[in-house]
Amino acid sequence: MLSILIPTYHYNAYPLAQELEKQALEANLIFELICVDDGSFSELNIANQKINQLINCKFIEAKKNVGRSASRKFLAEQAQYPWLLFIDADVLPKNKDFLTKYLNKLTPTSEAIFGGFAYKESSYSKNKSLRFTFGKQREEVDAAIRNKTPYKVIISANFLVKKPIYLELIKQNTENSYGMDYLLGALLKKYGIKVEHINNEVFHFGIDENIAFLKKTEHAMHTLSNLSKSKEITSNDISLLRAYYFLKLFYLQHLFGKFLGYFDRVIKKNLTEENPSLFLFDLYRLGYFCRIHH
């Protein structure tokens, strides 16, 4: 018994809902599919309304924008089944047995299972080079590697979780901020939730343009800073925080941030070109974090 939950915002989720309905019916699953648009009032919701015509599927148009985490909380509360499959609107399953792959992995001790992310080479374009390169190198990670540090590569765009566990976690995760997967990973670790990773990827298609992704990255750094200040998150498996605290050990964090600031224009030029350097991207993020985190 499975509740498939799709949060969306100004995106046509109908092709994804169609594919998941087809897979669920072919596998004779007891399921429901709920898709919620987070108050975008988008013309794309005309297509999303067709989700209501699919079997055991419904589309809800929220009248107010509450943010990604609160939208997910609403979806979890609406769900009637014990297992929740969260899947973002801008993806499509890599395999035709996507749903059964998840369900075949369930055991009496299962709590949360992450399927992973993948990128099609055809999705690459120069003006989206940074998000594509980051996704390809940092998110498209084999399950065997992810399972070595299970709380590190936490991508909430494709995972299965027990409903009571998720509702407990989301109590502390409703801020309307980009970068809240940092907190999800920390909470899963804090509460000792059993996390498994499998190779059951979705292709990610909603790839941000370079400038937009840099802005989202800066937003994520503010989120991480706030979570760190409030002690909701410690260095854990987050490499950036570990690097920051290493610099702080020698009272170098402010100097490092200021020094990197002089090279922002040069670094951003690289990050918006055809072959962006993820090493420079890491330096950019760390430098920015050092400047805002006090």
Residue with tokens 């990255």: 217
Distance CA 86, CA 84 (A): 6
- Burial bucket for residue 5 (CB in 10 Å: 0-12, 13-18, 19+): buried
Q: What average pLDDT does the segment 101-130 reach? A: 97
In tens, the pLDDT along 187-220 reads 999 899 999 999 999 999 999 999 999 999 999 9
Query: What percent of the chain is predicted at pLDDT more than 90?
Result: 89
Distance CA 48, CA 28 (A): 24
Beta strand pairing status for 91-93 and 202-204?
Answer: antiparallel
Residue 235 has pLDDT above 80, yes or no: no
Residue with tokens 């922002």: 264
Amino acid symbol at 104: N
Give the domain ranges of the chain.
2-116+153-206, 211-292
Indicate the pLDDT class of residue 236, thresholds 50, 70 and 90.
low
Looking at residue 234, its pLDDT comes to 77
CA neighbor of 151 nearest in space, from 182, 175, 172, 174: 182
Name the pTM for this structure: 0.95
How many Å separate Cα 91 from the centre of its chain? 11
Looking at residue 171, its pLDDT comes to 84
Q: What average pLDDT does the segment 2-17 reach? A: 98
At a CB cut-off of 8 Å and minimum separation 6, what does 57 contact?
Answer: 17, 21, 32, 33, 34, 35, 51
161 touches 121 (CB < 8 A): no
* Helices and strands in the chain: count of H runs, count of E runs: 13, 10
Residue 175 has pLDDT above 70, yes or no: no
In tens, the pLDDT along 63-98 reads 999 988 889 999 999 999 999 999 999 999 999 999
Q: What is the CATH number of domain 2-116+153-206?
A: 3.90.550.10
131 touches 44 (CB < 8 A): no
b/e code 143-164 from CB counts within 10 Å (16+ = b): beebeeebbbbbbbbbbbbbbe
At a CB cut-off of 8 Å and minimum separation 6, what does 41 contact?
Answer: none
Looking at residue 174, its pLDDT comes to 59
200 touches 115 (CB < 8 A): yes
Residue 179 has pLDDT above 90, yes or no: no
Terminal-residue alpha carbon distance, the chain: 47
85 touches 3 (CB < 8 A): yes
Q: What average pLDDT does the segment 99-105 reach? A: 98
237 touches 147 (CB < 8 A): no
In tens, the pLDDT along 13-49 reads 999 999 999 999 999 999 999 999 999 999 999 999 9
